[in-house]
Amino acid sequence: MGLDLTALSRQVRQMSGAAALRVADTAERTAHAVSRYRESAGEERHWARAADLSRESASWLLAHPVEPLGTARGLPERPESYALVASDGSQIDLDRHGSVACYLINIGRVFLRYGEDPLARLSSEPALYYRDEDLYLTDGARRVAIEGNYLSARRDVDEGVALVGLADEFLSDGLPCMALQDGTLIRWALSGAERFVQEHFLERYLAYLDAMRERGVPVASYISRPRSPEVVGTIRLMLCPDVDVAAGRGAKCDECSDVADGREPSCAVCQGLVDTDVLAGQLTEGQRGPLFISMSRINVEDYREHTIHFFHMRVGRELARVEIPQWVAQDPEQVDLIHALVYDQAARGDGYPVALARAHEQAVVRSADRRTFQSILEGSLYRAEAGASASAKKDSKSFIRG
Amino acid sequence: MQRIGEVIESSTTRFTAGAYELLEAPPFGSLVRAQTRSEGMAVYGLVYEIRTGSKEPGGRAVMRGRTYSGRNLYDGEIYHEHPDLAEVLQTEFSAITVGFVEGGRCYQYLPPHPPPVHYSVYPSDDAELAGFCESSDFFRSVLFAAQIPSDELLSAAIRAAARARPDSRDYLVRAGRELASLLKDDYDRLTALLRRIRP
């Protein structure tokens, strides 16, 4: 017997009821947070400083405003012709119960050119990794297997390297251009990693950003329906009784004065809110909100001149989050270009950038392909007389035994 | 002549080819030639079906004539605005095998092997078509083939052959006589066919 759907559906109904109650509560708290955010218009320098002061001691994520909080910039004019490259990856992770230690990364590569001479090139490039240096990172006597999060980190690097290759191949004709990625440019997954692992992947990732910068190709990433609460974190500072910028004091959640006095923390209204709840009201179709710097530790401490900035943009019923490195964010023309091109891509793709949808289609490894890959692998190992077999556990799961 | 496609499915009696250019399949009823593994041998087929759709199995095209911002795009403009369509859509054509050429001689019966998958497909020019239609033995294989629009296909092929020859009218009369002898038991079908090739 697999999933007991009768038992499950009762719980699903209960969950729906609870969700409906939460909606009303969230709406009220959102209104409160939004009004506090709007009151602070014009004080962005002040709150930027507060975010800097609180970076180490606040227990939430923070955003450092770079532009006026009320910014709602209209859609800039799009160049007649433009080109872009995009990449996306998928992987088959190391199967500990499988017959041999290896993993596969499949990178979807996209080039699109619009305008006078339209052209598209879509392709995918698989790579199988099985050597010791691919499977493990070593630092002296320590050895860390590249799987799970670390495999994702490796894939992120490979996606970046693919973009550099695409830029060299296609983006040298002087047309306005960009490189677009899916998801975030901030490598969160690495923040909890051991230092040498972090350095290994970040060095390569930042080298990719360096390479794009040298080529003059602005990089951006697109997050559909982002759930990050970084701007909300800064609103928490606005509500915090302990922040005193003039005295050089940021929020210290360990020594919260509200909690010490036995009250609920003043920032509790922000619990569970996300940035898009706050910014949704100020942006109409195609407009973008203010630029912020993400204050996550890995971004502030390790990204150098690539420090990731972000803005939100209205695309239909959703706000998308667009991330760009500092060298793009500091050039207003480039920011406008990214704004216009990303919006155009989303509009052509009915709400999600065409280039990313195509890159995903190229990269995705379907379950049928996965099975074929497994059987090719096993057949080939058998013929090579490499003496491979799956674990007893895996064998036992392959069918129900009578 | 430049190759126009490549065999993607092949069997003894028919083959399907993908066209290298989207929407550029050879016309219905035209004669195409598929290369085989032996140098001097090629298989002839008549195109009986042309289709365009997603390359992805089970995939379908979506409507794109009205953009996100409400602008209307028509026909060719849609392809211009979405260059990626040429990469994700594919035009295919299927042909029924009507003969083969080996060592310069033409035979109007099934070849020993179908054309291999991934081998090139070429259109035939007027001279080749006229040469192939010197004999009418292939009429029978087309007329009695199952699951294809055989009458439409044969009449389209005969009209094309007539256009490719200087003696168009004579050819049509000859083809009509041939049809009459093949369909002597089916008057209705014969007259319908003759109406389709009437000079």
Q: Are A84 and A76 in contact (CB under 8 A)?
A: no
> How large is the average pLDDT for residues A340-358?
95
Host domain of residue A90: 82-219+361-396
Q: How do beta strands A177-182 and A82-92 pair?
A: parallel
Q: Is the dihedral of CA B111, B117, B119, B123 positive or negative?
A: positive
pLDDT range class, residue A117, cuts 50, 70, 90: very high
Q: How do beta strands B120-123 and B5-10 pair?
A: antiparallel
Q: Are A73 and A324 in contact (CB under 8 A)?
A: no
Using the beta-carbon criterion (under 8 Å), do B67 and A114 form an inter-chain contact? no
User: Which residues in chain B have their CB less than 8 angstroms from residue A110's CB?
Assistant: 84
Higher pLDDT: B167 or A384? It is: B167
Tokens standing for B186?
């089916």
My answer on whether A94 and A188 are in the same domain is yes
Cα three-residue angle B18-B23-B27, rounded to 5 degrees: 80
> How large is the average pLDDT for residues B133-153?
95
**Among residues A101, A90, A85, which one has the least CA distance to residue A127?**
A90
Our CA-based measurement puts residue A180 at a distance from the nearest CA of chain B, in whole angstroms, of 16
Closest-CA residue of chain B to A113: B83
Residue A58 belongs to some domain of the structure: yes
My answer on whether A104 and A160 are in the same domain is yes
Using the beta-carbon criterion (under 8 Å), do A114 and B83 form an inter-chain contact? yes
Residues on A contacting B at a C-beta cutoff of 8 Å: 110, 112-114, 118-122, 316, 346-348, 350-351, 354, 358, 361
Using the beta-carbon criterion (under 8 Å), do B82 and A113 form an inter-chain contact? no
My answer on whether A90 and A209 are in the same domain is yes
Radius of gyration of chain A (CA): 24
What's the pLDDT score for residue B105? 94
What's the pLDDT score for residue A191? 84
Q: What is the pLDDT of residues B89-138, one digit of tens each?
A: 999 999 999 999 999 999 999 999 999 999 999 999 999 999 999 999 99
What's the pLDDT score for residue A21? 87
My answer on whether A341 and A372 are in the same domain is no
**Among residues A191, A125, A102, A114, which one has the least CA distance to residue A153?**
A191
Q: Are A103 and A131 in contact (CB under 8 A)?
A: no
pLDDT range class, residue A110, cuts 50, 70, 90: very high
User: Which residues in chain A have their CB less than 8 angstroms from residue B81's CB?
Assistant: 114, 118, 348
- Structural domains counted in chain A: 2
What's the pLDDT score for residue A389? 65
What's the pLDDT score for residue A22? 86
- The partner residues of B45 in beta bridges, in order of sequence, read B32, B97
Among residues of chain B, what percentage have pLDDT more than 90?
Answer: 89
- Structural domains counted in chain B: 1
Backbone angles phi, psi at B174, to 5 degrees: -60, -45
Of A120, A346, A351, the CB nearest to B87: A120
Q: Which residue has the tokens 């439409």?
A: B152
Q: Is B87 on the interface with A (CB under 8 A)?
A: yes
Using the beta-carbon criterion (under 8 Å), do A347 and B82 form an inter-chain contact? no
> How large is the average pLDDT for residues A266-294?
94
Host domain of residue B135: 5-197
**Among residues A66, A75, A65, A106, which one has the least CA distance to residue A88?**
A106
d(CA B101, CA A29): 80
Element (H, E) at B47: strand B41-54
Tally of residues, chain B:
199
Does the pLDDT of residue A398 top 70, yes or no? no
Q: What is the pLDDT of residues A50-99, one digit of tens each?
A: 999 999 999 899 999 999 999 999 999 999 999 999 999 999 987 776 77
Closest-CA residue of chain B to A286: B69
Cα–Cα distances (Å) from A359 to A87, A123, A204, in that order, read 5, 8, 22
Residue A129 belongs to some domain of the structure: yes
Backbone angles phi, psi at B48, to 5 degrees: -115, -10
Does the pLDDT of residue B198 top 90, yes or no? no
What's the pLDDT score for residue A189? 83
Q: What is the pLDDT of residues A232-245, one digit of tens each?
A: 999 999 999 999 99
My answer on whether A274 and A354 are in the same domain is yes
Q: Which residue has the tokens 């007539």?
A: B162
What's the pLDDT score for residue B67? 84
My answer on whether A39 and A99 are in the same domain is no
Among residues of chain A, what percentage have pLDDT more than 90?
Answer: 72
What's the pLDDT score for residue A388? 60
